[in-house]
Structure 1
């Protein structure tokens, strides 16, 4: 029988009034039964409510149960988009490591038996094995994680590994090499391909200044990572993948590096969709297929000053589709600035994948408006676009729920990663399509990227030779 507690104890655990607890019982927010004039509350129901509403803390704990499936460990787990895909491919995600309060509560709500840890820098490889229920001799099949990407984002200051968030990237790499899994995955933003390890200010370059060092070149941070891998014996490959090519109704590009303990570079991910239906694959999934049948919506709202323009726009349109005078009125000074500005007053198109989801759908420069309705996308629509199950519970206030889903790896992309690794573990022959265009950008796979980086080195070396002469 489930443990039950009193109104008084429940109020203390949630730090709310006893009257509020009674109300939650009456409106069935808490599972409870009436005994005389009072209530007896189901403890499991109370824990779930407390986590979802952020009234309770998700505590660290070891794995409560284990299975015989191939073992995966997750770091920087977020709302578990990557992990859900890996699970779908047949792995047991034995451990999740995450510092964000609301993400931790989401993990505890949905995967209560999975080990939960917080700051990755606090744990040794030995401690991680222990918390995951693994002995020193147990093999780890897969480690997966997306270290914080802000240090490498093209929108940030590009501090790379000199940023504190960059340092946890290196901690993650160290753990991967020490734990020695069969395979490990690093997921990150496109900026990782071009971010230097050490950034030299632009006013300190050119005539009168030394040439850029190897660490200061574009891509210096990634070069440092793969130099570590070269010395470790791990084989690796990476590419910039568009999630729409893997069934996600969203154009979202992420760098995914896969390391292999046997020293063999893994093949690239196998696409399941193409933009035009080539290679005998289905066309990209679109927004209508993803969200048109959702009934219940929780969403933020646009201010009235923006709604007046949205009422004039149709599916797939943005501010450029307004009459010129209204464009100037709506955009203000931004009208005269450069750049595409396609995120301003943007209605999504029914017949296309969504653009990349952001952490807030109603910020002026990155609006994500419903194709027809005068509102931003709802959290439920966010979940569908990122391919989370409808019953996946998100903890915290609405803005935090948007943030968790917006930061996630699409489940379809995670599944493609998991399936590739599972096939390799099981000895299945995997053949990547020859000449497939994974991204709209050039030099984004490991082979082409290395050629480009080496070309920079040659230029820098020739300049140094001339100066010495």
Structure 2
């Protein structure tokens, strides 16, 4: 087995993919006690360190992993992404980003890279890390890697790409940034997308259609109980009136339902429902009571359904409550994309190509049931019918105006 050091492991999203590609997680470092407990429950053979990366010496990581400097085949990890996430712009405008103390995790990753000197490394983060004009986090990483090379004599030359997971067979629209580098200076080449809507022609290869939520969930039985899965609150009874693949925009003057809201005056994920014929939208880590994506059966997804959307291996168990479960799964990386990149690292950097087919890719289902029937809009929502104003545009909304006023 090839040997892996895992940082910011969560419940093992990256690790599960590397595991399927023939890597052994020798040691996993994670701060969150619930994630550590879940990793130990599902992978008792992993050496799990519960602690802050900036408080755990690299020597302890090597000792717990039974490794010497330079022995690990790959260092993997996804430093917490909140300072660079798209949601931080919604909440705080231009967030503090590198001034945010949670961004110190980037320095922690670089320190372990310097001290352990693996043959290869993989780092993932949210797409916002590389937003044009706001990529200071990415630049810190690239500068830090150059400093590692100067200090140790390594020759890591990182390649990076914003990866749209649905374009590689993941049944979920999720965007992540990946950096991959080799100690001996080899240039890593990201594999080209394999799935999409584009029709191939003589100049471009044909892609497979996107994998869908039905491909992932179609063979999972309905839960015996809806405890913890019902949608309550002010808007719960409105969800059954929205078609599959739609959100609150259905009930705007431009939609096909009742005009209950203004166009684009809410979050995209407000009352968002899965479609059997489309990939899932990104599973949220901390959704509000009316924030989806929700199952087409007008309920929250179960643990096993969210695992399937995230392409985790089957058979995982969790003993935590709904809030912790949602947070851990929503923060995780789809394991299929990790398996794909791990196989490429084996082939391109470690010279030991993996054999066989991808283990975590869902199987396409030929028969897709028709959409669920819509319910009538309950009477209590009729009082909201009006010719609601549309959102005025980017940077012109109420919250944006408040931020400008506060800055002045």
Distance in 2 between residues matched to 1:277 and 1:127, nearest whole Å: 52
Are 2:104 and 1:167 equivalent residues in the alignment? Answer: yes
Is the CA contact (8 Å cut-off) linking 1:75 and 1:145 kept in structure 2?
A: yes
Q: Spell out, residue by residue over 1:305-355, the C-alpha distance to the aligned partner (whole angstroms, 9 max, x if none).
A: 4233222222122222237497554x4xxx37x567432222211101001
Match of 1:283 in 2: 209
Is the CA contact (8 Å cut-off) linking 1:183 and 1:261 kept in structure 2?
A: yes
Are 2:270 and 1:344 equivalent residues in the alignment? Answer: yes
| Aligned partner of residue 114 in structure 2, secondary structure | helix
Q: Spell out, residue by residue over 1:432-463, the C-alpha distance to the aligned partner (whole angstroms, 9 max, x if none).
A: xxxxxxxxxxxxxxxxxxxxxxxxxxxxxxxx
Query: Structure 1's 265 and 363: CA in aligned 2 closer, same or farther, altered over 3 A?
Result: farther
Q: Looking at CA atoms only, which structure, 1 or 2, has the larger radius of gyration?
A: 1
Is the CA contact (8 Å cut-off) linking 2:110 and 2:145 kept in structure 1?
A: no
Distance in 1 between residues matched to 2:353 and 2:26, nearest whole Å: 27
From 129, 139, 142, the equivalent of 1:192 is: 129
Match of 1:33 in 2: none
Q: Residues 46-61 of structure 1 correspond to what in structure 2 (within 5 A)?
A: none
Q: Spell out, residue by residue over 1:126-185, the C-alpha distance to the aligned partner (whole angstroms, 9 max, x if none).
A: 22111101134x611000000010122233253233222111211111211221111111
Query: Structure 1's 400 and 416: CA in aligned 2 closer, same or farther, altered over 3 A?
Result: same
Q: Residues 218-233 of structure 1 correspond to what in structure 2 (within 5 A)?
A: 218-231=134-147, 232=149, 233=155
Match of 2:326 in 1: 402
Is the CA contact (8 Å cut-off) linking 2:346 and 2:353 kept in structure 1?
A: no
Distance in 2 between residues matched to 1:183 and 1:323, nearest whole Å: 50
Match of 2:373 in 1: none
Q: Spell out, residue by residue over 1:337-376, the C-alpha distance to the aligned partner (whole angstroms, 9 max, x if none).
A: x567432222211101001110245533x322212x1212
From 59, 64, 77, the equivalent of 1:126 is: 59
Match of 2:170 in 1: 248
Structure number with the higher helix fraction is 1
Match of 2:293 in 1: 368
Q: Spell out, residue by residue over 1:217-259, the C-alpha distance to the aligned partner (whole angstroms, 9 max, x if none).
A: 6322322221222341311100100111221100100000112
When the two structures are aligned, how many residues end up with a matched partner? Answer: 333
Distance in 2 between residues matched to 1:314 and 1:154, nearest whole Å: 26
Distance in 2 between residues matched to 1:323 and 1:132, nearest whole Å: 56
Distance in 2 between residues matched to 1:221 and 1:241, nearest whole Å: 17
Are 2:199 and 1:274 equivalent residues in the alignment? Answer: no
Q: Residues 16-27 of structure 1 correspond to what in structure 2 (within 5 A)?
A: none
Query: Structure 1's 342 and 219: CA in aligned 2 closer, same or farther, altered over 3 A?
Result: closer
Q: Residues 8-407 of structure 1 correspond to what in structure 2 (within 5 A)?
A: 69-117=1-49, 118-136=51-69, 139-156=71-88, 157=92, 158-194=95-131, 218-231=134-147, 232=149, 233-276=155-198, 278=200, 279-297=205-223, 299-303=228-232, 305-322=234-251, 324=253, 329=260, 331=261, 335=262, 341-360=267-286, 363-364=289-290, 366-371=291-296, 373-407=297-331
Match of 1:212 in 2: none
Distance in 2 between residues matched to 1:383 and 1:77, nearest whole Å: 16
Query: Structure 1's 323 and 135: CA in aligned 2 closer, same or farther, altered over 3 A?
Result: closer
| Aligned partner of residue 259 in structure 1, secondary structure | strand
Distance in 2 between residues matched to 1:428 and 1:123, nearest whole Å: 32
Q: Which runs of 5+ in 1 are unaligned?
A: 1-68, 196-216, 431-469
Q: TM-score w.r.t. structure 1 length?
A: 0.66
Is the CA contact (8 Å cut-off) linking 2:75 and 2:121 kept in structure 1?
A: yes
Is the CA contact (8 Å cut-off) linking 1:103 and 1:395 kept in structure 2?
A: no
Is the CA contact (8 Å cut-off) linking 2:5 and 2:27 kept in structure 1?
A: yes
Distance in 1 between residues matched to 2:186 and 2:61, nearest whole Å: 26
Distance in 1 between residues matched to 2:75 and 2:252, nearest whole Å: 52
Distance in 1 between residues matched to 2:20 and 2:234, nearest whole Å: 44
Deviation at 1:186, TM superposition (A): 1.1
Q: CA RMSD in A?
A: 2.5
Deviation at 1:84, TM superposition (A): 0.3
Are 2:347 and 1:423 equivalent residues in the alignment? Answer: yes
Is the CA contact (8 Å cut-off) linking 1:71 and 1:140 kept in structure 2?
A: yes
Distance in 2 between residues matched to 1:194 and 1:130, nearest whole Å: 38
| Aligned partner of residue 170 in structure 1, secondary structure | helix
Distance in 2 between residues matched to 1:75 and 1:367, nearest whole Å: 29
Q: Which runs of 5+ in 2 are unaligned?
A: 150-154, 355-408
Distance in 1 between residues matched to 2:138 and 2:258, nearest whole Å: 42
Q: TM-score w.r.t. structure 2 length?
A: 0.75
Distance in 2 between residues matched to 1:295 and 1:409, nearest whole Å: 24
